[in-house]
Amino acid sequence: MLKKDIKRNKLSCKLITAYFVGFIAVFSLGTLLTKDRSFSEMENRPLKQMPEISSEKLFTGEFGTAFEDYMGDQILFKDGLMSVKTTSDFLIGKSYQNGVYFSGGGYLLQRFYEDTQNLDANIAAINEFAERQSLRGRKLDMMLVPNSVCINADRLPEGAVTDDQRQTIRHVKETLSPAVTLFDPTNTLMTMQDEGWQTYYRTDHHWTSPAARRCLEEWLGSMGAAQPSGNYTLKEVGGFYGTLYSKAPAGFVRPDTFSYYVNSAGQYVVEYVIEDRLSAAMIDESFLARKDKYASFFGGNYAHILIRSEAPGGKVLVLKDSYANAALPFLADVFSEVHVVDLRYFHNDTVSNLLDLYGVDRIMLLYNVDFLNEDKNFVWLD
């Protein structure tokens, strides 16, 4: 090799090293000099803050680990870098990112793996609860909602690997106690798809408000209950990027239009029981300007919410996940008291005590398949 070539190679190595060091320095210094963010709208979670330093934490390595997590959360231009990486991966042929498939029609579909052991444990907890409540004259009805990956399975890319939620629902039907009456809205959702309705958001894991309304009406009809009565108007807000976009934030993904119903004739008192505050609205409009627009239903999920109205249908307790939030406004137009309990947060009392305290005899469970499959909080059912 000629001396000239050796010098040229050395110069190239130095330039690459200088570029790399400069890149690291810019992002590290930029991160440290930029004001820390407390919350990521993109990831919908709190971000790590600068850890406290002490000799003990330095010696044990705790500070180093915490600082690494802090830099990972606060790094300069993080949201943009995530989008560039996801888009680049897609362009080289990767249709799967962080549990999400890029699918037909612009849909992001979350892969489903049945955890039979956890699913059966949750069903057993529901069965035990239902049988105890049945002895006390309380009726339990359950709606189990399939996820978008089930209803929109035909949109999945070739080679996608995911379990069939229809088989999971059949397994639930076979193992549920006779004390629970199960309603499966799969056919309703498929019919709505055939009619041209969008039943699930493309970028979020939740169903849409029209889908929640239709399924709730059919569920109420199946149990002989009254139908929601009101002067409903469907409101729409654009620019909605949901939870699945947070997992796979590609630059080419189009935003959804978030929708919710308003009953102009309805009058409600919404009590956030643990937080000890009241509201007259079930939609928190402050969230309509944020990325997580689905949280506009009640401002998110809470341990115990009590909705009072002038509806004639008596009292009901709803055990739920976030799918129920889009259906609760209609239940408030059927029942005079709707107690809403989320077992992820309801750990300071028992459901039985709450039923006794308020004199509630009807219990409704509204969960999506993925939640029933994965959640660990059904042990809080007494």
| Domain co-membership, 126 together with 255 | yes
| Domain co-membership, 78 together with 152 | no
pLDDT at 252: 86
| Domain co-membership, 97 together with 124 | no
Please give the average per-residue pLDDT across 181-198, as a whole number: 97
| Domain co-membership, 68 together with 213 | no
Last residue in a domain, options 71, 102, 133: 102
CA distance 311 to 332: 7
| Domain co-membership, 197 together with 287 | yes
Residue 227 has pLDDT above 90, yes or no: yes
- 304 in a domain, yes or no? yes
pLDDT digits (tens, 9 = 90+) for 252-283: 899 999 999 999 999 999 999 999 999 999 99
Structural domain of residue 256, as residue ranges?
112-380
Output the pTM of the full model: 0.82
pLDDT at 200: 98
pLDDT digits (tens, 9 = 90+) for 365-382: 999 999 999 999 999 998
| Domain co-membership, 186 together with 49 | no
The b/e string for 299-327 (b: 16+ C-beta within 10 A; e otherwise) is: bebbbbbbbbbebebebbbbbbbbbbbbb
Please give the average per-residue pLDDT across 29-50, as a whole number: 58
- 107 in a domain, yes or no? no
Q: In the chain, which residue ranges form alpha helices assigned H by DSSP? A: 3-33, 55-60, 62-74, 78-91, 116-135, 148-151, 165-175, 186-194, 209-222, 243-247, 328-331, 351-358, 369-374
| Domain co-membership, 306 together with 223 | yes
Last residue in a domain, options 53, 75, 102: 102
| Domain co-membership, 184 together with 266 | yes
Last residue in a domain, options 53, 81, 102: 102
Of 38, 97, 40, 36, give the one whose Cα is nearest residue 291. Answer: 40
| Domain co-membership, 32 together with 157 | no
pLDDT at 76: 46
pLDDT digits (tens, 9 = 90+) for 293-348: 999 999 999 999 999 999 999 999 999 999 999 999 999 999 999 999 999 999 98
Residue 162 has pLDDT above 70, yes or no: yes
Query: 60: pLDDT confidence band, cut at 50, 70 and 90?
Result: confident
| Domain co-membership, 133 together with 78 | no
- 218 in a domain, yes or no? yes
| Domain co-membership, 365 together with 318 | yes
| Domain co-membership, 53 together with 157 | no
pLDDT at 13: 56
- Provide the number of structural domains found in the chain: 2
Mean pLDDT of the chain: 87
